[in-house]
Each structure stands twice: as C-alpha cells, then as structure tokens.
C-alpha cells in the first residue's frame, strides 16, 4: 500500500477498516476528530505502568521489526473478528498504535462510533518510537 498515492492509500485504509469492523462509517478525509490522541512519551509511561493497554494494530510483518514491551498485538484487519479483546470499560484506557498513527486514528474513529469512550491513539506511532530509540522487543511467535 505504501507505493499508492496518499489519497488512494487513505481510501484503501478506510475501506479495509470498514470491512474489518463491518458497516462502520469513518469520518470524511480531512475531518478533525475531537482530539483523542496521546503523545508518545505519555503513552509509553501509561503502558509501562500498566495504567493503559497498548494495542499494536500493525500487521505481522511490521511486528517482526519490534514492538513496544507489553503491547497487545492485534492487526487492524483482524479487529472485527477480535473486537471482544479490546476492553470497552471506561476504567481501562486503551491506546492504539500503528506505524505512523494513520491506521490507529482510523481505528480510533471507528471504535468511538461503536461506543468505545476509553480509546485514544498514539501520536507518531511506532516509527517515531523507533526513531527516538525507545525500547523494542521481538514479538512472541504466533
């Protein structure tokens, strides 16, 4: 998907997410959601302390490059079938992370439309995590 024009890539992501979650209507391109994102350092602190569940929605080939310690691996394309694995309880914060925040922002929007009020996405994603030299671990074999 990376070789596609950005507008086509964004449409393809929205379509894939809609297919994964069922008939969910995503916000139009360029629409600004009410800011429900968390900075990288704050997200790392929340996840490492156990105050939030970090959900890595990247694909398995991306996980193979390294993941944040303690992250739950849940590829975006599997979310529809594994939705029950994402806590809906407002007392259990969930932080979504992908490579650059584009997919996690789209998943955040779709989950909010399904009533999840405890979900935020991580600014910068795993590419920024790695660029800053934050700790990565190899994922457990699936």
- Strand-by-strand arrangement of the 37-38 sheet: 37-38, 119-122, 94-97, 53-56, 72-73
Lookup: tokens for 90: 């407002």
Is 119 exposed, middle or buried, given 0-12, 13-18 or 19+ CB atoms closer than 10 A?
buried
> Annotated catalytic sites, by residue?
98
């Amino acid at each position: 998907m990376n070789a596609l024009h950005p507008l086509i890539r964004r449409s393809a992501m929205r379509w894939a997410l809609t297919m994964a979650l069922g008939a969910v209507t995503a916000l139009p391109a360029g629409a600004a959601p009410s800011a429900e994102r968390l900075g990288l350092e704050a997200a790392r602190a929340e996840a490492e302390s156990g105050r939030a569940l970090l959900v890595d929605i990247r694909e398995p080939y991306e996980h193979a490059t390294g993941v944040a310690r303690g992250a739950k691996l849940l590829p975006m394309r599997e979310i529809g079938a594994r939705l029950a694995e994402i806590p809906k309880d407002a007392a259990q914060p969930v932080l979504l992370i992908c490579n650059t925040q584009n997919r996690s922002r789209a998943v955040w929007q779709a989950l909010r439309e399904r009533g999840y009020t405890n979900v935020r996405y991580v600014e910068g994603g795993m590419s920024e995590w790695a660029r800053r030299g934050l700790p990565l671990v190899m994922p457990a074999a699936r």
